């Protein structure tokens, strides 16, 4: 009986959200008096370093066909790994891939699935997890009574302090059929920028208040100084001022950074639904009645073209 953690990778390295999942899963394993095993698919590097985050063992499926996220194949491998390790709990980061995989594995194993988990489980009376619901406006305590349980944890809810521990690495060769690869990924368009928007700890977003794509330099410069990802509101992407993969909101990318800076964004409910899990929200807008100020931790009423350069100057000095 163990806890299995599915680790997503990008360019052969574990994603930050998956490192959080490893730390979370290791703590759940400790609570259950068992061990934590990480599962990595495809080409990957430095697997033993997952021990820094609490994994005692890493199962590695070194099959290059798994370098792309073919959901049926991933689901099959994860289900087989759960059975191999006799895992009672599967932990993974909530993401577009994680959501699709978790649902399929839950159906195959008849496991209870809880998504958007924001705290460690309460084991005092069964197995109860706290979940974020209604796009972050409320929480629900959910009991999972099935023998096998799947937890998709929300980004940025579990702090991880790496140790010097290392994990043993074990090759795993699950049974894969041609039917697992019926779906083909023919093309992948990667988002521009060095920092992935869903994984970013700081996000700088702009809205129509910037008046045009030619003024986006201040957003990009602030993001560069802060080591942040760039985002935008839906109207901006609809106007093709910015690419659609930067659209943050209910129908775009949902983010949970430590810091979210909104420049010239009014704060429509659809946008707020995508950012309200941010730990700190800073709003810069010339309209003192902008709805976004109601959700902000800090607000600056002023012209972005005057305010943002001063913030950039101060950030450079820091």
Distances in whole angstroms, Cα of residue 114 to Cα of each of 126, 160, 181, 197, 291: 14, 21, 27, 24, 32
Question: 190 falls in which pLDDT band (50, 70, 90)?
Answer: low
CATH topology of 2-181 equal to that of 202-317?
Answer: yes
Q: What is the model's pLDDT at position 192?
A: 56
Closest-CA residue to 207 (of 138, 262, 162, 259): 262
Q: What is the model's pLDDT at position 135?
A: 78
Q: At the topology level of CATH, where does 202-317 sit?
A: Rossmann fold (3.40.50)
The answer to whether 250 is a known ligand-binding residue is: no
Distances in whole angstroms, Cα of residue 11 to Cα of each of 45, 123, 160: 9, 37, 22
Distances in whole angstroms, Cα of residue 245 to Cα of each of 100, 101, 261, 292: 19, 22, 18, 22
pTM attached to this predicted model: 0.85
Asked whether 150 and 105 are in contact (CB, 8 A), the reply is yes
Q: Which residues contact 211 (CB under 8 A, 6 or more apart)?
A: 264
Average pLDDT for 64-82: 94
Enter the DSSP assignment of 122.
B
Q: Tokens at residue 227, please?
A: 């080591």
**For 34-63, what is each residue's pLDDT tens digit?**
999 999 999 999 999 999 999 999 999 999
The answer to whether 266 is a known ligand-binding residue is: yes
| Helix or strand holding residue 132 (H, E) | strand 128-133
Q: How many other C-beta atoms lie within 10 A of the C-beta of residue 135?
A: 18
Average pLDDT for 86-96: 96
The answer to whether 256 is a known ligand-binding residue is: no
Measure CA 125 to chain center.
29
| Helix or strand holding residue 206 (H, E) | strand 202-206
Q: How many other C-beta atoms lie within 10 A of the C-beta of residue 53?
A: 26
The answer to whether 163 is a known ligand-binding residue is: no
The answer to whether 271 is a known ligand-binding residue is: yes
CATH code for the structural domain at 2-181: 3.40.50.620
The answer to whether 69 is a known ligand-binding residue is: no
Q: What is the model's pLDDT at position 195?
A: 79
Asked whether 180 and 69 are in contact (CB, 8 A), the reply is no
Q: What is the model's pLDDT at position 136?
A: 79
The answer to whether 300 is a known ligand-binding residue is: no
Q: What are the percentages of helix, strand and coil residues in the chain, rounded to 5?
A: 35, 25, 40
- Spell out the alpha helix ranges (H) of the chain: 16-32, 71-85, 96-109, 217-226, 234-238, 269-275, 292-295, 304-317
Q: Tokens at residue 274, please?
A: 């995508």
The answer to whether 71 is a known ligand-binding residue is: no
Average pLDDT for 243-253: 92
Q: What does the domain layout of the chain look like in residue ranges?
A: 2-181, 202-317
């Amino acid at each position: 009986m163990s806890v299995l953690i599915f680790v997503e990778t990008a360019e052969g390295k574990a994603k930050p959200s998956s490192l959080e999942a490893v730390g979370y899963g290791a703590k759940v394993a400790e609570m259950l008096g068992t061990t934590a095993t990480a599962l990595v698919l495809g080409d990957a590097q430095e697997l033993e370093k997952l021990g820094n985050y609490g994994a005692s063992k890493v199962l590695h499926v070194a099959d290059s066909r798994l370098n792309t996220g073919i959901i049926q194949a991933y689901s099959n491998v994860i289900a087989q790994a759960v059975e191999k390790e006799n895992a009672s709990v599967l932990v993974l980061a909530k993401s577009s891939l994680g959501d699709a995989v978790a649902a399929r594995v839950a159906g195959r194993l008849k496991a209870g699935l809880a998504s958007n988990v924001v705290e460690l489980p309460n084991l005092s009376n069964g197995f109860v997890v706290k979940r974020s619901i209604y796009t972050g406006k409320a929480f629900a305590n959910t009991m999972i009574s099935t023998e096998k349980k799947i937890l998709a944890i929300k980004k940025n809810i579990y702090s991880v302090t790496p140790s010097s521990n290392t994990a043993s690495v074990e090759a795993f060769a699950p049974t894969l059929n041609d039917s697992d690869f019926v779906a083909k990924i023919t093309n992948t368009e990667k988002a521009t920028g060095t920092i992935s928007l869903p994984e970013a700890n700081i996000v700088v977003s702009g809205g129509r208040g910037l008046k045009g794509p030619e003024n986006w330099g201040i957003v990009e410069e602030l993001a560069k100084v802060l080591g942040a990802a760039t985002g935008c509101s839906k109207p901006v992407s609809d106007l093709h001022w910015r690419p659609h993969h930067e659209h943050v909101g209910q129908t775009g990318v949902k983010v949970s950074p430590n810091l979210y800076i909104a420049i010239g964004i009014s704060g429509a409910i659809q946008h707020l639904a995508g950012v309200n899990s941010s730990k700190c929200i800073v709003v810069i807008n010339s309209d003192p009645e902008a709805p976004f100020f109601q959700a902000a931790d800090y607000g600056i009423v002023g012209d972005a073209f005057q305010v943002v350069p001063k913030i950039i100057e101060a950030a450079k000095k820091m």
